[in-house]
Amino acid sequence: MISSDAMMLAAVVVVMSVVAALLLAVLAAVRQLREEVRYDIPPARRAAVEGSILAVVRGGAEAGVAFFVSPTVALTAAHNVQASSSRRRAAAVECVRPSDGTRLYFNIASFDAALDVAVLRLRAGEPASPHYLAVSLSMPAVGANGLYLVTCNIRMAAELRGVASVGVAWHGARITHLHSRHFLYDAVAFDGDSGGAVVVARTGEVFGLHTGIVNAARELLERKEAVGERLNNVELSVKSLIRGTAFGCLGVRLDSDAARRMISDAS
């Protein structure tokens, strides 16, 4: 028969276990709260990042995103500045800065359709940007906190034309896979977000360029293969990266040799 002392001791052990579990839960919640507070973006940095973001105008309407990486140079997705009918690069690129409504005009300094990156340089006489994003020389780790896709609310503005104007939108991001030139990540993304900046909130640095969602990339590659078009090395690497992935976003690593070379040659 179990003695009363043994029963008392067992009860104490159970109570202490419950208390310990509760304390661990509280500590985890506090740690999570600290993480969220740590990655709150100071107003001055938020304003600087938003002042670097541009909406690419095509056919008289906003159709994509770009962002400054120096006072005179900006990056965007190549397909944002490629005429869909002729498949030729646009002669000039018109952008609008949502933070103040300024319209700016660029020439295409460098263009890589396979990588889906275009480097834009302000035309002569256009005012240099007071804000731009420093390009990070390293990639955050898979699952790192404090990352954002910074883009324009083009889709919402289009659906609420006359009610909402194009502004800058921030969406929390989390990297899921890394590749030599690309990365996969989870974030809320819509049509028109291509060319958006993927940034580290703590530093305000940009490490990636959003090129689209996984399903769209898969459909494009499948269409090419269906008509017997041979995929190039970049497209083959993208195909390998997204294999088995149903959802998510695709971005170009700006620390990759190809992207760094494009930026350097245009600067």
| pLDDT tens per residue, range 76-112 | 999 999 764 344 455 689 999 988 888 999 999 999 9
Number of domains in the chain: 1
Q: Average of pLDDT values for 103-122?
A: 92
Output the pLDDT for position 179: 87
Is 22 domain-assigned? no
- Cα–Cα distance between 266 and 113 in angstroms, integer? 16
Is 195 domain-assigned? yes
Q: Average of pLDDT values for 136-161?
A: 80
Is 216 domain-assigned? yes
Is 105 domain-assigned? yes
Is 164 domain-assigned? yes
- CATH number for position 221: 2.40.10.120
Output the pLDDT for position 198: 96
Output the pLDDT for position 201: 86
Out of 18-27, 29-38, 148-157, 232-241, pick the least confident.
Answer: 29-38
190 vs 126, more confident: 126
Measuring CA to CA, how many Å separate 40 from each of 125, 166, 208, 223? 37, 23, 20, 42
Are the C-beta atoms of residues 228 and 180 closer than 8 Å to each other? no
Taking the whole predicted model, whether its pTM rises above 0.85 is answered as: no
Output the pLDDT for position 248: 79
Q: Average of pLDDT values for 43-71?
A: 90
Is 12 domain-assigned? no
Is 205 domain-assigned? yes
Output the pLDDT for position 35: 42
Q: Average of pLDDT values for 142-146?
A: 87
Are the C-beta atoms of residues 211 and 116 closer than 8 Å to each other? yes
Measuring CA to CA, how many Å separate 108 from each of 82, 87, 124, 180, 252? 10, 15, 13, 25, 18
- DSSP for residue 130: S
Q: Which domain holds residue 91?
A: 43-266
Helices marked H in 76-192 — which ranges?
154-159
Q: What pLDDT, in 10s, does the model give residues 203-254? A: 889 999 999 875 555 555 555 555 566 666 655 655 555 454 445 788 999 9
Output the pLDDT for position 142: 92
> What is the dihedral sign for C-alpha 250, 256, 261, 267?
positive
Output the pLDDT for position 45: 85
Is 3 domain-assigned? no
Widest CA span of the chain, in angstroms? 95
Measuring CA to CA, how many Å separate 255 from each of 210, 259, 262? 14, 7, 11
Taking 70 as the threshold, does the pLDDT of residue 135 lie above it? Answer: yes
